[in-house]
Structure 1
Amino acid sequence: MKNVLVTGANRGIGLATATLFKQSGYHVVATARREEDIANLAELGFESHHFDVRHRDNLDTLYTTLKANGSLPDVLVNNAGISSIELLSRVNEEEFTNLLDVNLKSAIFITKKFIRHMSKNKFGRVINISSVLGSMPQKGLMSYSVSKAGLEAFSRVIALEYAEKGITVNCVAPGYVDTDMIKNIPYAQQMHEQIPRREVATAQEIASTVLFLAQQPNITGEVINNNGGLLMKS
């Protein structure tokens, strides 16, 4: 049985991904920041752990625990993320730094921490949850877009670096998805109207794309745009 680690697994795409992997026979390690979320994840049958992705000491603790449990990940899903709404003239440096810490830097250092285990086993899948906004500009979403564009660039570089070690690195870039986060994004209704398919994706549909990439040995360095054709309209 292969192990999968899903960060930010308490709701939305993270929870849907953790659930689908569990249903598909994987041992799922699900992380969250709040104690009540960790308890809920444990009740759902996941190996659940407290993990604030911004803090490196939390990462060290998680690594040590998973190693002791025999559950170091074969598949890593960097899903934890936050959104931010502001125009450039109102960008707050502290808030911008916090967003980069969660959306970009955490994926870099979590991947660095666990990819050595994957290299040793000559097998690994790293799947980063990006966004159509990494490629499609929207007013008021500069910080979020920058973090996701950076995540995609990171993924391509690491895919190249580890291609000969049996490790694939890819991104899934959702568009308009029916989750709590999308409710905080301005122009959401306009984005919905721009979707060529005229349908909002579900978290389960995004999760199925993540599972697909976990099962593919020859797809790496790619951004899978699961957005109903929204990117074509940019």
Structure 2
Amino acid sequence: MIERNRILNMEFDDSVQGYNYIDGLFAIGYYLYLMVILYVFGVVSFKTDLMSNMYRAFPKMNEQFVQNIYYIPVTIIMLLPVFIMMLLKKQKWDSIGIKGTKIAKSIALGILFSIPLVAPSFHYAILNNKKFIPVENMIWLFLYFFIEIALVEEISYRGFIQTRIQGLIKSKWLSIITVGVLFALSHIPFQMVRADKPLLDFIIQDSVHLLLTCAIHIYLVYLYTRDNNILSAIVAHALIDFVPGMFY
């Protein structure tokens, strides 16, 4: 029974316990900051010629590599407030799940937990005789999902917002579901601009994906709390996003 309870338990370790309402307000403020950045980045990317001009400026370079370079500034802008707030409050790296111990275990956990969610993509590819994309594209695509998507979102939502918001929402499950909803909603600003649709139309069209994204948050929180190392969630998240793009 003890072992079963440990498996089903979702508890953060001591390094992320005891946050107060100030930490919770920081988390909410940071979330609103992310929403604004994502919307502005969407407008810049899809309502201006900046992205297309960048591709034209480097015609002989791999397009996926150019996209990775294009995303680097917004990656830094999105994560910078986390490190500033940690510095101001004198919080350690492990308070957002960044640890230098048991790295191999965290990577293995990430791969293991990604399997149920990537298996359908492999199954579909096999049934439809899909081929792998070129190796060079595959490498840059994985790095894109690992660094500019998974690393940013895991540190932001699982590592920072989810732990700090418990200073405002004391109920563990209510806080997890709340951040799950916030995580799902955070995908709206950028993708809405990309789809060029009004807010309500986009939400209706993307409702299933938004619900799945909320569920993914809960799944990744569970994974994170297996060893309280954000690397495991980053690896799983990167693979979940990357595998469907491996085929054409």
Greater percentage in helix: 2
Greater percentage in strand: 1
Give the TM-score taking structure 2 as reference length: 0.31
Give the TM-score taking structure 1 as reference length: 0.33
Work out which structure has the larger RCO, using CA pairs closer than 8 Å and 6 or more positions apart in sequence: 2
Greater C-alpha radius of gyration: 2
